[in-house]
Amino acid sequence: MRGRVVLALVLVLVLPASVHAAGSSMRAGVYTGYAFDACAAPAVSTLQAWSASPYRGVGVYIGGANRACKQPNLTPTWVQAVTGLGWSLLPLYVGLQAPCVSQSGLAKLSTNGTTAAAQGLTAADDAAAQAQTLGLPPGSPIWFDMEGYKLGNATCSNAVRSFVGAWVGELRARGYVPGVYGSAASTIRDVSILGSATPDVIWIANWNGVESVFGDPYVSDSLWPNHQRVHQYKGGHRETYGGVTINIDSNVVDSMVVGGIGAPPPPPQPAPAGQVTSGDGLAVASWPAAAFAVQAVVTLTPAAQPPVPNGYAVQLTATESDNQAPIAGFGAQVTLHLLKPATGLTPAFSADGQTWTPLQKLPAAGLGQSQLSGYTLDPDGTAEIQTLVPGWFGLVADTRPPTEPVVNARLTSKGLYLSWGPAQDDSGVASYQVLRNGAPVMDLLASARRVAVRRPSTGAQTVYRVRATDGAGNAGKPSRAVVLLAKKRPRTLPRAIPQWAFGLFAYQRHEGPRPKTAPKRPPAWYWTWAAWRAQPYRLR
């Protein structure tokens, strides 16, 4: 949320028949991918330029007493135009905020639960009216933007729950899918225990850079597991695509949205100047006109015997048409598509068909004198090789292990939280292992980038590492050691901790009622003990 604009009461407009007809072509459905949100809805021309970005979803602020920016672009015509371009919309409503929110100048909820519930009904009715005005069909999700607020204030939390419970029930009655956006540690925690009034979709704000909807240390993966999550992983920053710069928040989405649902088809690629297929049909080479300065004959000859069992090899040659002189280099890269899946194998190059060198991934800057060939893996597991030189190209045994993951660690109230960047490998990472004191304790999918270890300590010192394994079974070097040390029990504590202390500790963590036997003013040692119990470890 960005600043504050107080809105006047919005009237429900009677839409022209053309808008209703166009709106009926939109649909709500599950979208998995990246989305951004900006203070004001971008112009259609901006979203056309941003077709070069990885984003295909956009969050839009459709109303609310605390909406920050004017929305000159946000009209039914805009909605039709951008969804027609393939963009999916994530509608947000920025209404009254928590009574204990720290940001000044915001319109806030009542601390009275009955009044807060009435305010939730009013907000839901207005949000539904705004959605109808924009032509968003029934079944569209609408997220209430409830910004983060102070922890430990029961009156504040109860007001938020009363408000959200009413918001959820009324939006469902109006035919929309109720959602809530907010801080993982405050808003999402408080609305996760509403039972039947729990929001249907959730938008977790945790700027930890983790591009996944799961694995948040504050939100259990068992909650909202079925295409019900958005994660805002990066706050306000500037990005530029197609020459247009916007200040955005970045999100990863696996949730209901409305509009385009999927990404638009990519623009058609220019037809190659030439193309040839190998005799066995397992390799195809294509090239642009700039690849050859003279008329050329390009051939693909499969190897009689593959370099390794289940492998594959083909020779790419080019000669001048008039005198059959070999062409030693190309003016533009030739694309060689190997149609045999590369599972457990790695693309490689050989000058003589005998000695093979694994190829490097295609660099973002393209090929040049420092790298004459490179490859990418298509979603179906086949390899596309770009090359500026002829020679033998094939799939050989992958003997190089993945690179060492770079691991970050932090302690939370729930335990140890590990996150890492992706390891690099010739044939692709197949899995990650978490090692504790050298022994595997967790096996994770290749897409995993984080894990929470609930009870991490096994003694005075515990060492964690992360190791990647590739599709060929090569295990990489474990990451640097994350050393967890147990804190010593404070000397000032009594020898026996009374039972009321454990109950009071649970109460302060919202895990039970306040024990009747606990003193109104706990002794000084209690706070020392509670701090030690809440975090009995430290990182070295």
**pLDDT tens track for 389-399:** 999 999 988 88
For residues 368 and 489, give the distance between their C-alpha atoms in angstroms, rounded to a whole number.
Answer: 61
**pLDDT tens track for 45-94:** 999 989 888 999 999 999 999 998 989 999 999 999 999 888 999 999 99
The larger pLDDT score, comparing residue 206 to residue 243, is at 206
Residue 24 pLDDT exceeds 60: no
Residue 18 pLDDT exceeds 70: no
pTM for the model stands at: 0.49
Architecture of the domain whose range is 29-259: Alpha-Beta Barrel (3.20)
Residue 201 pLDDT exceeds 90: yes
Query: Using an 8 Å Cβ cutoff, are 333 and 367 in contact?
Result: yes
Same fold, 29-259 and 407-486: no
Nearest residue to 57 (alpha-carbon basis) of 31, 76, 75, 38: 31
Q: Which CATH class is domain 407-486?
A: mainly beta
For residues 14 and 481, give the distance between their C-alpha atoms in angstroms, rounded to a whole number.
Answer: 64
End-to-end CA distance of the chain: 37
What mean pLDDT is predicted for residues 284-295?
91
Query: How much of the chain exceeds pLDDT 90, in percent?
Result: 58
What residues does each domain of the chain span? 29-259, 274-397, 407-486, 499-539
Residue 225 pLDDT exceeds 60: yes
Residue 17 pLDDT exceeds 50: no
Q: How confident is the model at residue 270, as a pLDDT?
A: 59
Q: How confident is the model at residue 4, as a pLDDT?
A: 31
Residue 537, class by beta-carbon neighbours within 10 Å (0-12 exposed, 13-18 middle, 19+ buried)?
middle
For residues 432 and 540, give the distance between their C-alpha atoms in angstroms, rounded to a whole number.
Answer: 23
**pLDDT tens track for 146-194:** 999 988 899 999 999 999 999 999 999 999 999 999 999 899 999 999 9
**pLDDT tens track for 321-331:** 988 999 999 99
